Amino acid sequence: MAGLASFISPCCLPLYPSYLSYITGMSVQQIKTEQNKKEVRFRTMTHTLAFILGFSVVFYSLGLGAGFFGHFFSDNRGLIRQLSAILIMLMGLFLMGIFQPKFLMRERKMDLKFKPAGYIGSFIFGIGFSAGWSPCIGPILAAIIAMAVSEPGTWLALITAYTVGFAIPFFILAFFIGSTKWILKYSNLMMKIGGALMLLMGVLLFTDQMFKITIWLQQITPDWLKF
């Protein structure tokens, strides 16, 4: 759900057509009107896959670093858990619009002056897309990293779930090449709901009651989604 929220955020979804155009080298109008639909769809989806692999490298690198950090300071697990909980609560308040310092409202990303041709270029652009901070995606990913630090053994599952949640809608829209206007209508509301959930999870983590929501989620999650 955190990955999905990152994708539909106002910082990502409105720019989706531009990302698609940049990695394929075709305008959105060309993608929609090209007569050879099969060739265009194959090109669009394969470049999207290369782009997804690019940002996955960054996400997994951050998760791995968080896991190592948590293991290294395992003797201070209680303090790390509480500090992580405070960070998650602050990021939740940020998404809800209650706590928004100016330095977090600025976007900081790798400035790629040029894009290498082909799939390598799409892969590198995916790295550039995720290697930085944006006011919508940053707080959500920071919360996932904080959870990975507080429970070092969970970083792989957390990052995988987040990456899948982010990548699937990216891939689906590349297949259908449809409009995103109807999602944009509700994106701000969804971000505020996500912020409220992060605030709740932060409180539970700080008070060491996270197991309660984990038990509840385990009860409502189908067996095929558990890993």
Task: Give yes or no for a contact between 46 and 40, defined as CB atoms under 8 angstroms apart.
Answer: no
pLDDT at residue 209 tops 80 = no
Contact 47, 119 (CB under 8 A): yes
Rounded to an integer, the average pLDDT of 24-43 is 66
What residues contact residue 107 under an 8 Å CB cut-off, 6+ apart? 11, 132, 133, 134, 135
Q: Rounded to an integer, what distance in angstroms lies between the CA atom of residue 181 and that of residue 13?
A: 9
Confidence of residue 110 (pLDDT cuts 50, 70, 90): low
| Span of 51-65, 148-162, 200-214 with lowest mean pLDDT | 200-214
pLDDT digits (tens, 9 = 90+) for 111-152: 655 555 677 888 887 887 777 777 777 788 888 888 888 877
Q: pLDDT tier at 185 (50, 70, 90 boundaries)?
A: low
pLDDT given at position 103: 67
Identify the helix (H) or strand (E) that includes residue 108: strand 108-109
Note the pLDDT tens digit of each residue in 34-85: 545 677 777 778 888 888 888 888 888 888 888 888 777 777 777 777 888 8
The rounded distance, in Å, linking the Cα atoms of 167 and 172 is: 9
Question: Which one has a higher pLDDT value, 158 or 75?
Answer: 158
Higher pLDDT, 196 or 24: 196
Give the model confidence (pLDDT) of 188-197 as tens digits. Answer: 777 777 778 8
